[in-house]
Structure 1
Amino acid sequence: MKLDVLYEDNHILVVVKPPNVLSQEDSTGDADMLTLCKEYVKEKYSKPGNVYIGLVHRLDRPVGGVMVFARTSKAASRLSEEIRSRSLKKGYLAVLRGCPEKRNARLEDYLVKDSKKNQVSVVKEGEEGAKKALLSYGVEGEADGLCLVRIELETGRPHQIRVQFASRGCPLYGDQRYGARVNTAGEQIALWSYHISFMHPTLKERMDFFAYPPKEYPWSMFDIESVKVNNHGTL
């Protein structure tokens, strides 16, 4: 698999993850981005032995889009701190079944994950294991009973975007887990990491990278590339 590289230097590697590729290796033995990045650097720069690549964030397997990897432990540490402090911004595009009542809003929920079932649920604040989930969204278009939303993720909870919209009656197109009543088996989930913004770990300059989803249904129903962000991810 050829790696789609948006940017690289001695400290970071910014790439586009295809849908249905793992972020890191699991028990399936299927292709994963961390291994692909290591192989890319090892081959391009003729690196002997093991190559260091730091995984600082993940995308769910069915989700595609832009990711940043660290090429040094210093970069990994600084990028991880940006994630903790929420200065690293991540923008997503999603196609929903139906449309939210408000065209722009901030969603706040408390989520609990059942690790055995790999299922996340919305629960009341204070319930054991509940973690706060925050995101902001703006509606970018409507067509054919579908709705395109632009999302700024404030917290990175498992399945967060999928669960928060499904709980409001607007599951993501193609999401079998949280929208089985309206989605058909075999449909590709329409969730894409299209923007990432962070301070370069050594240059101390803010960097923005964009990657847009493929021009196929349901993305093809909308003018995807007209979607922009302001002030590094804020809606």
Structure 2
Amino acid sequence: MKEFTIQKNDAGQRLDRWLAKTLPLLPAPLAQKYIRLKRVKVNGKGSKRDVRLNVGDQLQLYINDEFFDRPTPENAFLSLYQPKLNILYEDDQIMLLDKRPGLVVHPDEHERVNTLLTHIQAYLYQKKEWSPYKENSFAPALCNRIDRNTGGIVIAAKTAEALRVMNQKIKDRELNKYYLCVVQGRMSPPKGKLEGFLLKDEVKKQVYVTDRPQPGAKTAVTLYRTLAVEHGLSLVECDLITGRTHQIRAQFAHAGHPLIGDGKYGRERENKKYGRHGQALYSYRLEFHFATDAGPLAGLDGKCFQVEDVDFVSEYFPNYHWKEDEVH
């Protein structure tokens, strides 16, 4: 319990608004709940949220200590009362999540609270499966990343061993990640391979594709197959042999078939034509094929997970339905 005395500068405020200012990490719905449960007392008694405070009032707060901390990137998860996650799979080791386009995966200089990782932390904290306040506590971590405006499956590790094993499996290509995208025009051939070299411009946060090796350029290989063609657009499935930054977007643009909605590698006039904001790209399917011991993740071997819906498929290819056999 912590006690506060209302001073002149705080007099006249509503109780709930004083609480929001004093404890910025405490989510508003949780603050209202604590007031209802009389865990916030004014002069030793329970009170209503809209009561006006007076000079000299004594407030007793029966609230967890962590909510009295000052906000930092490390404790931002506390402010999320109802984390929003689309969980495809969860066990005591990992989580598979369908990240929506527009959501950044990690906190950065622009967004600290509304990120995929922060929502995961809040979810596990509220389930009492994780707490950063425990000694030697492992912080939930992401095993793969997806661009802000790309949607799809992200793997999160709940334990240090799961993180180590999954990262090694990804490195050894013992799982397959399939993407769906909508590109302009018709691919020729309809099924094939895009090969090249990607050179990254750190200043512009953009990559450039070259057909020949260059100093600093990394090999990029993408397998693709066309699933449907309608109205000058192609629905394409991609299997990344290499996992480079912006690989799919840059390679298809280089091949003359940019993704619709792609503001960085696409064509502005075409994007306006189709009314697409954000690249039509989704990591929609994940398959596990372990060739070596997977320890605590062995139960995933041979399993496949697929998202339930991809908005641009139903929008641009309403008659197409992908097969969902072997999906668990």
TM-score by length of 1: 0.89
| AA in 2 matched with 1:44 | K
- Gaps of at least 5 residues in structure 2 are 1-82
2:102 pairs, out of 9, 12, 20, with: 20
Pair 1:87–1:47, CA change in 2 (3 A): closer
C-alpha contact 2:313 2:320 (8 A) present in aligned 1? no
1:156 pairs, out of 243, 262, 273, with: 243
TM-score by length of 2: 0.65
User: Matched residues in 2 for 1:36 and 1:219: separation?
Assistant: 28
User: Matched residues in 2 for 1:17 and 1:152: separation?
Assistant: 19
Listed one character per residue, the Cα deviations across residues 99-135 of structure 1 (whole Å, up to 9, x for unaligned) are 2111110111100110110111012433111101111
User: Matched residues in 1 for 2:166 and 2:97: separation?
Assistant: 15
User: Matched residues in 1 for 2:208 and 2:192: separation?
Assistant: 21
Give the structure, 1 or 2, with the largest relative contact order (CA under 8 Å, sep 6 or more). 1
C-alpha contact 1:190 1:219 (8 A) present in aligned 2? no
1:183 has 2:278 as partner:
no
Return the structure number with greater strand share: 1
Task: Tell me by how many angstroms 1:180 deviates.
Answer: 2.7
| AA in 2 matched with 1:21 | L
Counterpart of 1:226 in 2: which secondary structure?
Answer: coil
User: Matched residues in 2 for 1:128 and 1:18: separation?
Assistant: 36
Corresponding position of 1:36:
119
List, as ranges, runs of 4+ consecutive aligned residues in structure 1 with deviation greater than 4 Å.
227-230
| AA in 2 matched with 1:145 | G
Corresponding position of 2:195:
108
User: Matched residues in 2 for 1:224 and 1:55: separation?
Assistant: 32
Return the structure number with greater helix share: 2
Corresponding position of 2:92:
10
Corresponding position of 1:220:
315
C-alpha contact 1:65 1:212 (8 A) present in aligned 2? no
Task: Tell me by how many angstroms 1:152 deviates.
Answer: 0.8
Q: Percent identity?
A: 33
User: Matched residues in 1 for 2:200 and 2:325: separation?
Assistant: 31
Corresponding position of 1:56:
143
Task: Tell me by how many angstroms 1:23 deviates.
Answer: 1.4
After superposition, the CA RMSD in angstroms is: 2.2
Corresponding position of 2:207:
120
Corresponding position of 1:194:
284
C-alpha contact 1:140 1:227 (8 A) present in aligned 2? no
Task: Tell me by how many angstroms 1:186 deviates.
Answer: 6.0
C-alpha contact 1:166 1:178 (8 A) present in aligned 2? yes
Counterpart of 1:74 in 2: which secondary structure?
Answer: helix
